[in-house]
């Protein structure tokens, strides 16, 4: 009964490839996020979706495209992977409003070679 | 833009108190958070404080907020080896997403 799950946990791929990371939450939340954590542990918001609609889109290359088929899922597709994309990607979810507590998934470690 | 800063490293002895500090720049921050990240794991919300509060206590955790100085601290009483982790301070204003600090690595010596 994992609250926020991500697949895969590890992803190793070559430059130029296209890959997807999946995220699912079973908390009934209406808002989902993608964060990128670099090698220095710095954590930065990439995207946020509320009820399947994009509400935050930080300065992220358009090679990154989030897709939300329903409120419980937010997938991240990355085209033409580059070395600098290597990082840990975290999915999170919350309800809008109130204390806005965000619950994080376990992370997907992406390594681009 | 918003900025959140933390010291990178803190080492304490088991049983001592740990104090992790954080400063932020956005005066319109409404909520401030402390998250814990253990090796290879995601972020776990420890506690949060609303900006109109100056203190919140939750078991071994005490959060102090000095809104005038934009300073937030997390005190962990009776620190245990299981508390070794990276602690992230984060802030939010309105409907913006969270802005995280760079994290403080807490090392607890037995």
Tokens for A6, please give them. 């991500």
Name the interface residues of B facing A (CB cutoff 8 Å). 31, 33, 35, 37, 40-45, 48, 50, 86, 88, 92, 95-100, 102-103
Q: State whether B41 and A45 contact (CB < 8 Å).
A: no
- In chain B, the percentage of residues whose pLDDT exceeds 70 is 97
- Give the closest-approach CA distance of A81 to chain B in angstroms: 23
Cβ contacts (< 8 Å) between B102 and chain A: which residues? 40-42
Inform me whether the pLDDT recorded for A13 exceeds 90: yes
Q: What is the pLDDT of residue B95?
A: 66
A42, A101, A106: residue with CB nearest B42: A106
Tokens for B39, please give them. 């090796």
SS (H, E, C) chain B: CCCEEECCEEEEECCCCEEEEEEECCCCCCEEEEEEECCCCCEEEEEEEECCCCEEEECCEEEEEECCCCEEEEEECCCCHHHCEEEEEEEECCCCCCEECCCEEEEEEC
Q: What is the pLDDT of residue A92?
A: 92
Q: State whether A42 and B100 contact (CB < 8 Å).
A: yes
Q: State whether B41 and A106 contact (CB < 8 Å).
A: yes
- Give the closest-approach CA distance of A35 to chain B in angstroms: 10
Nearest CA in chain A to B41: A106
CB atoms within 10 A of CB B24: 21
Token look-up 């937010």 returns: A74
- Give the closest-approach CA distance of A55 to chain B in angstroms: 9
CA dihedral A58, A62, A63, A69 (to 10 degrees): 80
Q: How many residues does chain B have?
A: 110
CB hemisphere CA count around A86 (13 angstroms): 11
Q: State whether A56 and B96 contact (CB < 8 Å).
A: yes
d(CA B14, CA B7): 20
Q: Check CB contact of A44 with chain B, cutoff 8 Å.
A: yes
Residue A86 — pLDDT band, cuts 50, 70, 90? Answer: very high
Q: State whether A45 and B45 contact (CB < 8 Å).
A: no
pLDDT tens string A16-36: 999 999 999 999 998 999 999
pLDDT tens string B16-30: 999 999 999 888 888
Cβ contacts (< 8 Å) between B45 and chain A: which residues? 101-103
Q: What rounded mean pLDDT belongs to chain A?
A: 90
Q: What is the pLDDT of residue A5?
A: 94
pLDDT tens string B34-67: 999 998 888 999 999 998 899 999 999 999 999 9
Task: Tell which wins on pLDDT, B21 or B93.
Answer: B21
């Amino acid at each position: 009964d994992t609250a926020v799950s991500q697949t895969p946990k590890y992803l190793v791929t070559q430059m130029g490839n296209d890959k997807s990371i999946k995220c699912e939450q079973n908390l009934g939340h209406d808002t989902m996020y993608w964060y990128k954590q670099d090698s220095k542990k710095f954590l930065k918001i990439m995207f946020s979706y509320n009820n399947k609609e994009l509400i935050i889109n930080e300065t992220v290359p358009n090679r990154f495209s989030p897709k939300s088929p329903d409120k419980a899922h937010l997938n991240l597709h990355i085209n033409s992977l580059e070395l600098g994309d290597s990082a840990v990607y975290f999915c999170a979810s919350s309800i809008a409003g109130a204390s806005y507590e965000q619950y994080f998934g376990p992370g997907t470690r992406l390594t681009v070679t | 833009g918003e900025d959140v800063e933390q010291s990178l490293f803190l080492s304490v002895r088991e049983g001592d108190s740990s104090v992790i500090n954080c400063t932020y720049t956005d005066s319109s921050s409404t909520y401030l958070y402390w998250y814990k990240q253990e090796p290879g794991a995601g972020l776990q919300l420890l506690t949060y404080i609303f900006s109109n509060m100056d203190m919140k206590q939750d078991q071994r955790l005490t959060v102090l907020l000095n809104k005038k100085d934009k300073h937030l601290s997390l005190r962990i009483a009776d620190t245990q080896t299981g508390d070794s982790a990276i602690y992230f301070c984060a802030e939010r204003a309105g409907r913006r997403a969270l802005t995280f600090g760079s994290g403080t690595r807490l090392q607890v010596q037995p």
